[in-house]
Amino acid sequence: MVAQALELTGPKPSPPYALPMHLSRTSWQLPPVALTLAIAALAHAALWSFRAEDVDTFLIPWFDHIRSTGVIDAFATPFSNYTPPYLYLLALVTPLGVVLPGLTVLKLLSMLGTVSLAGALWRLFSALDAPSPQRAAALTLSLPSTLLNAPLLAQCDAMWAAACVMALAMAVERRHASMLTWLGLAIAFKLQAAFFGPFAVALLLNRRVGMHLWLIAPATAFATLLPAWAAGWPIADLLTIYVRQTGHFDLLSLNAPNPWIIVQALPVLQDLPLQGYAMAIAIGGSVAYIAWLASRRIGPELILPAALLAPLLLVGTLPRMHERYFFLADILAFALAVTMRNRAG
């Protein structure tokens, strides 16, 4: 009888990926999905008419090129400084330009990225056994970062961030081949996905994942180039898109809120090789981060904070960073916040 009583009243076993007690349940209620979507719709409507400079400089010319040459023939020659995955999606929605303004089509495509990000967060929250994953994921549509990125600026950062979040969900479930596939897809969308790289490397080292699986990420990224190459886009140009992107700007900081935006404003330091110092700090910090994380036990209570630290560390120390490069850190900070108890809990 005593044994039965202890069995009934004792602690229940946790699911294999459940969060520990201090992360397992929030003591506050998330708003209903319907209310969140209504607020998000109002915010999107208020921002929708804004036309950013990048729209007319880059996006509309790419959109017009695809419309004038055809969905497939457009890729016969280089026409963009973006890698193909975004351009494939742009080509698929370009026929909507017959009935909708180009700006609307571009923002709808960006919204598709935000919805994908919300779905990825839902998957992550479910993997972590977080409370009300559907309510938490719906909040993605109302975050300041996603509102500024898609309905205001028509940017596509939610796409590569969604792939990184899916990679994190696969990491939680120890599905390493899937994690690396998603990471490769993220890098194929934008080079900024490399900010997630130190976490992935540390995790693979920590769990002693075979080196043959490491090849999945670059193989996936390369595979996304094949349709454009088959259509006529020279492979040498495709493989060097990121190299050319990094050479467009030479400022120490491009409005990113890291220490370099302050340093570059100090005239007495202009003659120093500050970009070299910044790169050395970023590389050294990344190596230290990987060594620290690879040597620890990475349980559910550590995986989200550790993943958040990687983009914070890199974007906070690298030169030539835009403010938008903190996008993944913003999303992971949000994910961490909704999976934690508040201080009164």
pLDDT averaged over 10-residue windows placed end to end, the chain, 345 residues: 40 45 53 95 97 96 97 96 97 97 98 98 95 94 96 97 98 97 98 97 96 97 98 97 78 82 76 81 96 91 95 93 93 93 42
- pLDDT score of 322: 86
Distance of CA 339 to the CA centre of its chain: 19
DSSP secondary structure, 240-279, as one string? THHHHHHTS---SEEB-SSHHHHHTT-GGGTTS-HHHHHH
- pLDDT score of 18: 47
Rounded CA-CA distance 128/292 in Å is: 23
Percentages of the chain per state (helix, strand, coil), in multiples of 5: 70, 0, 25
- pLDDT score of 14: 44
Structure tokens at 138: 């719906």
- pLDDT score of 15: 45
Q: What does the pLDDT look like over 87-112, one tens digit per residue?
A: 999 999 999 999 999 999 999 999 99
CA distances from 279 to 187, 238, 242, 315, 319 (A): 20, 25, 17, 11, 7
Distance of CA 244 to the CA centre of its chain: 21
Write down the pTM of the prediction. 0.88
Q: Which SS3 state, helix, strand or coil, does residue 321 take?
A: strand
Sorted by sequence, the CB contacts under 8 Å of residue 103 that are 6+ apart come out as 51, 55, 60, 154
Structure tokens at 74: 């457009």
- pLDDT score of 259: 86
- pLDDT score of 22: 44
- Residue identified by tokens 């690879």 is 294
- pLDDT score of 270: 63
Residue of 338, 294, 263, 327 lying closest to 117 (CA atoms): 327
- pLDDT score of 23: 45
Q: What does the pLDDT look like over 246-278, one tens digit per residue?
A: 766 677 778 888 888 888 777 776 666 788 888
- pLDDT score of 92: 97
- pLDDT score of 273: 75
- pLDDT score of 283: 95
- pLDDT score of 28: 57
Rounded CA-CA distance 220/183 in Å is: 9
- pLDDT score of 344: 38
